[in-house]
């Protein structure tokens, strides 16, 4: 069950990332103050990433481990760190233009790291395999 939650949540993470990019890019181009929609979209994106990490750690603790997961874990933990750090910098920045740049950079770089992390286990972001196929391939 945790595997399917982790696998399904990735679509929401990607959607939240795309929505955040649109809102942050619009704010940056519009020269508006770093407003509530920017904060909320960044928070939803980083929050969904954190939930994804928790589900992934639960899967590892429950014994769902194979060697290719090391690259997946490292890339995805880096993605979470980048998104969280740059989102916080954007929120705290007094110059709203720089705030948008920080947050937007965090979302874009973290999405690229996520795609790399997914590639580390031999898939692309929109591909899913049944859990029994993964375990059979790991043996």
Q: What is the mean pLDDT of residues 113-132?
A: 73
Write down how long the chain is. 139
pLDDT in tens, 107-119: 999 999 999 988 8
* Residue 23 CA neighbour count, 13 Å, CB half: 22
Q: Tokens in use for 136?
A: 């059979």
Question: Per-domain residue ranges for the chain?
Answer: 2-126
Q: What percent of the chain has pLDDT over 90?
A: 55
Check residue 4 and give its pLDDT: 86
Confidence (pTM): 0.83
20 vs 71: which has the higher pLDDT: 20
Closest CA to 10 of 114, 80, 87: 114
Identify the band that residue 132 occupies on the pLDDT scale cut at 50, 70 and 90.
very low
């Amino acid at each position: 069950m945790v595997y399917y939650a982790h696998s399904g949540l990735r679509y929401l993470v990607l959607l939240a990332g795309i929505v955040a990019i649109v809102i942050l890019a619009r704010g940056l181009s519009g020269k508006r103050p770093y407003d509530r929609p920017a904060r909320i979209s960044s928070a939803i994106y980083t929050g969904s990433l954190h939930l994804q990490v928790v589900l992934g750690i639960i899967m590892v603790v429950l014994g769902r481990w194979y060697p290719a997961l090391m690259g997946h874990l490292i890339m995805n933990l880096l993605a979470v760190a980048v998104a969280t750090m740059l989102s916080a910098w954007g929120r705290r920045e007094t110059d709203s233009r720089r705030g948008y740049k920080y947050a937007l950079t965090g979302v874009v770089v973290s999405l690229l790291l996520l795609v790399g992390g997914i590639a580390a286990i031999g898939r692309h972001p929109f591909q899913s395999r049944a859990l029994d196929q993964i375990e059979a391939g790991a043996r």
